[in-house]
Amino acid sequence: MKPRTVFPLATALALATLTAPAFAQQACSPRYPPPTTVAAMFDMAAVTADTLDALPDVDVAIAARGGQDLSKYGLRHSHLAFLMRNDAGSWDVVHLLNRCKTDNSDLYREGLVNLVGESSITTDLRVGIPTPEVRAALKTLLAGTAPQARALHESRYSMLAYPGSSQYQNSNQWILEVTAAAMAQAAGETALADRDTALAWLKQKGYLPTRMHIGIGKRLGARFFADNVAVTDHPASERISGNYSVVTVESVFDFLHRSGALERELAIPHQTPVPATSSAPSPVQRQESAP
């Protein structure tokens, strides 16, 4: 499998997440959040940085934002990312994104504003602080060109990627599998050098995905109209019943807590927009899906 590249984006707002109905097929187009929303995005990013800066010796964290509205499934957060302190002392976001609702993904390193996006006005940021051993391993895995982390990336994207197959991958799966590699490294175990090895390790350690029921109408719509949804990797029983196993924020945090990989968990409160004087809006590109 050809490694993918983690690379920076040019603008701070280019990949802010937008809330959209599950399976919606939307082209990339300019988006103009109200100035008050843009201000809230920057405020929440600043609060996040200040909160992390106040934690001694913490240079890696795992964060979950809102984004896709998954409330009908009892889920509050939809997208996971790594937060890493860079050499300049500020915080980078490293995560997998599915741009423009296509059937492929790539890895990105960008700023905190990009992560919180417009969900900053509706949803708290959930932040997990790994143990020192797991943090050290994550820092090694994600440093520089990050060859091992890139080896765990599959560019074929599906929002509903099956946790037991390496055919597709969603955003949360990549975070889970890289964290699994860090946990194995911290425990002195054999390196998880590819996705099949990582998936087998997670199964052995008791990772449990979320089961999401998706009705026949939505399944048919996704099949024919959404490039970023595929279910051919799921067992026939799940495709027939509509009860799909999916890697979600909640299932990842539950696994990390059960495994003792998290030292603590924090919540960064969402920001209430404050009315502002008229100013020119900033464009945000509608182009990312989560999970």
Distance CA 94, CA 196 (A): 22
Does the residue 263 lie in any domain?
yes
**Would you say residue 9 lies in a domain?**
no
Write out the residue range of the structural domain in which residue 29 sits.
14-289
* Amino acid at residue number 222: A
Residue range 181-211, pLDDT digits in tens: 999 999 999 999 999 999 999 999 999 999 9
79, 65 Cβ separation under 8 angstroms: yes
Checking if the pLDDT of 1 tops 70, the result is no
| Number of structural domains found in the chain | 1
Cα distances (angstroms) measured from residue 238 to each of 193, 232, 245, 280: 29, 10, 8, 48
Q: Give pLDDT, residue 261.
A: 98
- Strand-pair category, 243-246 with 210-213: antiparallel
98 in helix, strand or coil? strand
Amino acid at 187: A
**Per the domain annotation, does 3 fall within a domain?**
no
Which pairs count as long-range contacts for 140-146, CB under 8 Å and 24+ apart, including other chains? 140/185, 141/178, 141/181, 141/182, 141/185, 142/6, 142/60, 142/82, 142/84, 142/94, 142/178, 145/5, 145/6, 146/6
- Specify if 61 maps to a domain: yes
pLDDT tens digits for range 208-238: 999 988 876 665 555 545 788 888 999 999 9
116 token code pair: 């919180």
Contact between 14 and 284 (Cβ < 8 Å): yes
7 domain residue, yes or no: no
- 6 lies in some domain: no
Establish if 185 belongs to a structural domain. yes
Does pTM top 0.85 for this prediction?
no
Residue 83 tokens, joined: 């937060």
Burial 82-106 (b: 16+ CB within 10 A, else e): bbbbeeeeebbbbbbbbbbbeeebe
Query: Which of 73-82, 115-124, 125-134 is most confident?
Result: 125-134
The answer to whether 35 touches 267, Cβ cutoff 8 Å, is: no
Residue 58 has pLDDT above 90, yes or no: yes
Residue at 34 is within a domain:
yes
Does the pLDDT value for residue 265 go beyond 60?
yes
Alpha helices in the chain (DSSP H): 35-53, 112-116, 132-142, 147-151, 171-186, 195-204, 216-225, 236-241, 249-258
